[in-house]
Amino acid sequence: MMTTTFITGGNTGLGFETAKRLKTLGHNVYIGARDEARGKEAATELGVQFVKLDVTDEATVAQAAKIIAEQEGHLDVLINNAGISGPFAAPEEITPDMMEQVFQVNVFGVVRVTHHFLSLLEKSAHPVIVNVSSGLGSFGQVLNPEQIESKLNPIVYSSSKAAVSMLTVQYAKGLPNIRINAVDPGPTKTGLTGQGHQTVQEGTDAIVQMATIDHNGPTGTFINRDGIIPW
């Protein structure tokens, strides 16, 4: 039976490449995006299906879940990929408004989408959730002078991704029948930051790996393309 997968922020960057790779692996892929025109264009190029979804908008998230419920009746894999980098401001310039804007997408967006899609995932024989986090949200990476993450100080983005990683652990503890893992794409050059040395394919290696595990796969872990990384 074909695996049905939904990817938020699937019209560009890591989401687009993940959709392409999973489609090649035989998944029945849906991508979600805020911009309907760009989303439909990406879906046509990929040969996948599109549903309009803004992770900060409760109504569009609920409607997207309803559409997939009507068309598929269940969901096997949810990839919470949508995210924004936010401002790379100095510590003294950080404001609550900056934090709220980024957390609305990167953190509350994960919760909002997960909440509305859980009932569909629970109808799958082997449900999986992949949360796209970042090494910039890992204490172990940002405090290790040998890692590139230690050279950067994106306070807003890093704190949001640390929250995503903890959400992953707590969801995994509370939902033992679903395989739920966080992944760090690594320093990949995408539209999100414009920086990084990895190709987009390399950046999606960990996402694809965790999206294709079975019921015996890990849960509550944090990995990049090289394996487990420190929290």
Strands 77-80 and 49-52, by their bridges, are unpaired
124-127, Cβ contacts within 8 angstroms, sequence gap of 24 or more? 124/74, 124/75, 124/76, 125/76, 125/215, 126/76, 126/179, 126/214, 126/215, 127/75, 127/76, 127/77, 127/78, 127/177, 127/178, 127/179
Residue that is written with structure tokens 């009932």 in the block: 119
Q: For the sheet with 49-52, list strands across it.
A: 49-52, 28-33, 4-8, 77-80, 128-132, 179-183, 222-224, 227-228
The DSSP secondary structure of 46-77, one letter per residue, reads: HT-EEEE--TT-HHHHHHHHHHHHHHTS--SE
Instruction: Tell me the three state secondary structure of residue 89.
Output: coil
The reply to whether 157 belongs to the active site is yes
Report yes or no: 30 and 49 within 8 Å, Cβ to Cβ: yes
Which of the following is catalytic: 6, 50, 157, 222? 157
Is residue 78 helix, strand or coil? strand
Look at the alpha carbons of 10, 97, 129, 71 in this order and tell me if their dihedral is positive or negative: negative
d(CA 71, CA 45): 21
**Catalytic residue annotation:** 157
